[in-house]
Chain A
């Protein structure tokens, strides 16, 4: 049961949020070809450690934001808006 810091609303329960995937992958340009899109859609690192991920405050302000979470300890070190870089 995570407690997630929404950059807009503050800390709230995991139940209010939707996990939206790995925030470290970037959608390729339209002409990048099938292989690039294949990797974008299907290939993910599975780190035992820090992971940058998208969360959406679906039952709150509906903002989509980044969370830096440790996949082993579940410690959340940072959250921020799209485009921001974690410290």
Chain B
């Protein structure tokens, strides 16, 4: 027990105790704590085990950059793994567990992995993959999973609530520390639409650690209160000024998608971890984190403390601890001399200049070894070592958005290159110290506003103070494990091994060693690793660079990205105009694309072949009606409408008489069939196209694109009228009998023959009638405005038409040999489907040229045929492969299969190599999945009424 809570003013409320559980034990923190500060206050040192070697690890940071203290939060569906304890706002009843230990944190059997460390070198995964594959599956992977898993995901639906908010602004300021507050306040004062994000639940960044800044911060916060989003982390930067941010809310999260003209990156800097032997021991902590725990949470992280740092800013932690009554025994600074050394000595701290820490000891830290200026060593008993290798500007979000990074030797870090949209301010721009950062934020805001043409006045700033100086400490070379990545147990030696084995590029070394691939993305050790690589390669650090930064900057929940688009809201659901009628009359619905369509009508929900065949027989023997409103419908008008249709269809439409319909076939430009449907001419310059339901959107896009870009000279207008018209197919020998009494036109065969089309009043509603047939029976398609559909449909039903669903429709069209998406599958040509005669012999049309390629006309292509089982009761499976008896090579496959209403038994359509020449042959429909081999006869696809007499009745 070394950490403890002090009695001193801080940003917590000791009067509000909060109970929580960690690894099943009860703890108490206070309001304003993070889980990490409460654990430190309770004296917890070991909070996790490392990923590979299972070494005990403690809290090293006070922010989202934490590599070690990852916990599982919550239980059941709420369970969330890999959350840094350093960002968890403590709440009453919070339940957290440590990760990556078995059976317990204190006694981890897997720590024996540490004894085998020589067997787990860098590149272990790659090398292991080259071992026999069977060993990988049976031996290594289960063991590695057991040993090295991070947290467990919840296996229940996520009960939290998520949504997405779209936002627009002129100036987005990311980070509400000194620089961000100054920038946002100036932007707001100038009248610019401003959004200020801050990841913390206590807003103010570094100003929270110095009470002298309280009045300044309060004034700025009051000025920006309308545009501040607290608890909101910028997770990704994209092109064109789009930034994604996640706000943590009570009961869920909200994703903000922000479009902005300018971004001020005031994200601060992350303190870096120096690599020295034993730098992973619990009790080693970043200096700034210790200062944060002291000043913000009133937690002393240790009793006997030393500081190892090469920069003035880190000294503040030592000074504040001394002021709080904590023993600071030593400061070890690689610099021979530095401004704050005198003050440190005055405060009673022993300062070792030109020195370094070369070793640590203890299960948790008990002793450090210092290499003094002359080379001699001295052991010092401490429980806490504060370290600082300097500060890296936090530029991930901008770098993700492709703002180039430039190496800045003065701060030994990467900053942003000049960019018209993104500009860093304060520590994110390498301007350290609160006063300097605030001034920089104000200045940058002024520049940004000026670039938007807005005048602005400088804001009120605290007195200037000198910026702290420092040097970077990247690696102390001494024997022992010096970690550059605490989460993935990557050491400086691992990186040197990667260089020796040829993986010297920073991107290669990253993958070879897994350096920076943890959930913390190597925030505190990333540049340290690059420095080790640079030294091993004899290059300047600036020439080595950092691995490419990619979203997301912090661990992000799937739920936050999905927002509310889950479950039924995942995709829109489209309902037919008569959905409620169908529902009230026993329709069992099936989802086809986005559409809900009646599969069959059955009061008992019976979807067996019995009910389907009853409906189909009603059509064959009497009359039925089905809702085909989901078909695509495109209105084509203009003097060149006929010419346009001649070019987009493989067959001719300009010659179609007014009042007539024609079946049309569209090809893609590559010569394969695209879609089919019926097109009718309603006037000299007016056609209406129907498309298949599945291709409705694609056909419209296809036509619009060709009209806009290929034939812009054609005087044609296109409009989708798909949702405007309800359409019903009335089919069966009694169809005319049902329809004639309801309409104002003469339906006699001579007056309204097969393929006639025209306007009519149907049951009092002005609509259209098309005498077309998909079922093969005498049929009319009736189109009426969607809002007036119900009385028309009801009149047809009242007149004796039996409603039939999609399954019966499928039976009817398979019997007739008509194609749907199963046959128009993007791989079939007109010839494959027996429609080669539809192709125009002359004139330009889409696909005309490439459909003549020899391979598309080869005799052994898969051709559409009918298939009937030799034993009519044996089922043919959809998707079954077709093989010759005794052979195994596939000669085709079954595309559609039904029970036949008219013929009895099973009936199928299929595609067979050279199929048309093989009619009469017996082959086998093989379905090894079901263990079924069914003998079938190849037939014409037109199983009923091949001479097409019924449609002309």
Contacts and interface: CB of A to CB of B under 8 A. Distances in A.
B709 A23 contact: yes
A37 B708 contact: no
Given A56-B705, A64-B704, A30 B712 contact: no
Contacts of B257: 1
B240 A30 contact: no
Interface string B583-603: 000000000000000000000
A2 interface: yes
Given A1-B239, A40-B669, A74-B239, A83 B712 contact: yes
Contacts of B9: none
Interface stretch (B176-184, B630-638, B842-850): B842-850
B268 to A, nearest CB: 25
Contact of B853 (A27, A34, A36, A74): A34
Contacts of A32: 849
B669 A37 contact: yes
Contacts of B709: 20, 23, 54, 64, 82
Interface string B253-293: 00001010000000000000000000000000000000000
B853 A82 contact: no
A77 interface: no
Given A3-B259, A64-B704, A41 B844 contact: no
B850 A2 contact: no
A41 B704 contact: no
A8 to B, nearest CB: 12
Contact of B240 (A1, A56, A64): A1
A58 B850 contact: no
Contacts of A38: 850
B240 A3 contact: yes
A45 B544 CA distance: 33
Contacts of A56: 701, 704-705, 708
Contacts of A82: 708-709, 712
Contacts of B238: 1
Given A56-B701, A62-B704, A27 B710 contact: yes
Interface in B234-252: 238-242
Interface in A34-61: 34, 36-38, 40-42, 54, 56, 58
Given A32-B849, A34-B850, A34-B852, A3 B708 contact: no
Interface string B409-425: 00000000000000000
B704 A1 contact: no
Interface string B712-731: 10000000000000000000
A54 B849 contact: no
Contacts of B712: 82-83
A76 B670 CA distance: 30
A41 B670 contact: yes
A34 B857 CA distance: 14
Interface residues of A, number: 30
Given A34-B853, A37-B850, A40-B669, A2 B705 contact: no
A82 B257 CA distance: 31
B705 A64 contact: yes
Given A27-B710, A62-B704, A64-B709, A3 B669 contact: no
A41 B669 contact: yes
A33 interface: yes
Nearest to B719: A62
A74 B710 contact: no
B402 interface: yes
Contact of A33 (B242, B402, B849): B849
B700 to A, nearest CB: 9
B389 to A, nearest CB: 33
B936 to A, nearest CB: 37
A13 B242 CA distance: 10
Given A23-B709, A74-B239, A30 B849 contact: yes
Given A34-B850, A41-B670, 11 more contacts: A1-B238, A3-B240, A20-B701, A27-B669, A36-B849, A37-B669, A38-B850, A56-B708, A73-B402, A74-B239, A82-B712
Interface of A: 1-3, 13, 18, 20, 23, 27, 29-30, 32-34, 36-38, 40-42, 54, 56, 58, 62-64, 73-74, 76, 82-83
23 contacts: A1-B238, A1-B239, A1-B240, A2-B239, A3-B239, A20-B705, A20-B709, A30-B843, A34-B852, A37-B850, A42-B670, A54-B705, A54-B709, A56-B705, A58-B701, A63-B708, A64-B705, A64-B709, A73-B239, A74-B239, A74-B402, A82-B709, A83-B712
